[in-house]
Amino acid sequence: MSVVPVYHGVHHSNFAVLPILYSFRRCPFAMRARLALLASGTHCDLREVVLRDKPAALRDASPKATVPVLVDVDGVVIDQSLDIMRWALARHDPQRWLSPARGTLDEMLALIATCDGVFKQALDRYKYPNRFEGVDALHQRTQGGLFLDALEVRLRTSRHLFGDAPALADMAIAPFVRQFAQVDAAWFAAASWPSVQAWLSALTGSPMWTAVMAKYAPWQPGDVAVIFPEGD
């Protein structure tokens, strides 16, 4: 029996009324957006993008032409990943990602800003040193490790960054720590961040993570809508 998705309690047989999400499976920014959409139960028409051949519809929606980009049913465009997360969770937040057991939303946003700033800068230069003139990849790895040192301290007293349940900060940051870990998986596994390693393993091994990492064919105009998340 086919399942017709429910979007915020409204039964839809016409998929065109759903928000559109331009995404790329392996992009950490797109991962965090998909995680929040799944957690909030917000269905969308997912359009998988090939980054070397971006569709005109993506460029028309957002001049930045990078994923993720969400186009709401009223035409409003949200083209920053954290804004997509907060948009979805403001509508429905059953797991209380915006209200952690410890700390505040502002404190989570500050930690995410560090991730998106100095850590992401080091990560890019560690993973892609040839893209930056005069960059020492190992030095950048050390710089990125400073952020993981701070996460390790937090995770020694709780299973997640702001308590014993995942919250916004965990799901916004984990995709980037995952990318950092994958540059040299053997080195990361041997590094002195046991709490970070356990935290990352638990998140990336969860059913939620598996669901957001499903593979989809690249979208082309005229394709049948791909509804994400799958099911009701």
Q: pLDDT over 70 for what percent of the chain?
A: 92
Residue 158 has pLDDT above 50, yes or no: yes
| Domain membership flag for residue 196 | yes
Task: Tell me, yes or no, whether 65 and 126 share the same domain.
Answer: no
Task: Tell me, yes or no, whether 121 and 199 share the same domain.
Answer: yes
| Domain membership flag for residue 214 | yes
Task: Tell me, yes or no, whether 198 and 220 share the same domain.
Answer: no
Task: Tell me, yes or no, whether 90 and 119 share the same domain.
Answer: no
Task: Tell me, yes or no, whether 199 and 140 share the same domain.
Answer: yes
Task: Tell me, yes or no, whether 220 and 133 share the same domain.
Answer: no
Task: Tell me, yes or no, whether 82 and 60 share the same domain.
Answer: yes
Query: What mean pLDDT, rounded, does the chain reach?
Result: 92
Per-residue tokens: 139: 């030095």
Given a contact cutoff of 8 angstroms between Cβ atoms, the answer to whether 8 and 220 are in contact is no
Task: Tell me, yes or no, whether 154 and 168 share the same domain.
Answer: yes
Task: Tell me, yes or no, whether 18 and 111 share the same domain.
Answer: no
Which domain, by its residues, includes 60? 6-96+209-228
| Domain membership flag for residue 164 | yes
Q: How far is CA 3 from the centre of its chain?
A: 26
Q: Is the pTM of this model over 0.85?
A: yes
| Domain membership flag for residue 1 | no
Residue-level pLDDT at 192: 97
Torsion-angle region of 71 (φ positive above 0: left; ψ -120 to 50: alpha; else: beta)? beta
Per-residue tokens: 55: 């569709």
Q: Which amino acid is at 66?
A: T
| Domain membership flag for residue 171 | yes
Reduced to 3 states, what is the DSSP secondary structure of residue 161?
coil
Residue 5 has pLDDT above 70, yes or no: no
Over residues 94-151, the pLDDT tens digits come to 999 999 999 999 999 999 999 999 999 999 999 999 999 999 999 999 999 999 999 9
Residue 232 has pLDDT above 80, yes or no: no
Q: How far apart are CA 19 and CA 16, in angstroms?
A: 8
Residue 10 has pLDDT above 70, yes or no: no
Task: Tell me, yes or no, whether 154 and 83 share the same domain.
Answer: no
CATH code of the domain covering residue 91: 3.40.30.10
CATH code of the domain covering residue 126: 1.20.1050.10
| Domain membership flag for residue 56 | yes
Given a contact cutoff of 8 angstroms between Cβ atoms, the answer to whether 99 and 109 are in contact is no
Task: Tell me, yes or no, whether 170 and 199 share the same domain.
Answer: yes
Task: Tell me, yes or no, whether 178 and 139 share the same domain.
Answer: yes
Q: pLDDT over 90 for what percent of the chain?
A: 91
Q: How confident is the model at residue 230 (pLDDT cuts 50, 70, 90)?
A: confident
Q: Cβ of 119: how many Cβ atoms within 10 Å?
A: 25
| Domain membership flag for residue 63 | yes
Q: How confident is the model at residue 20 (pLDDT cuts 50, 70, 90)?
A: very high
Q: What is the number of structural domains in the chain?
A: 2
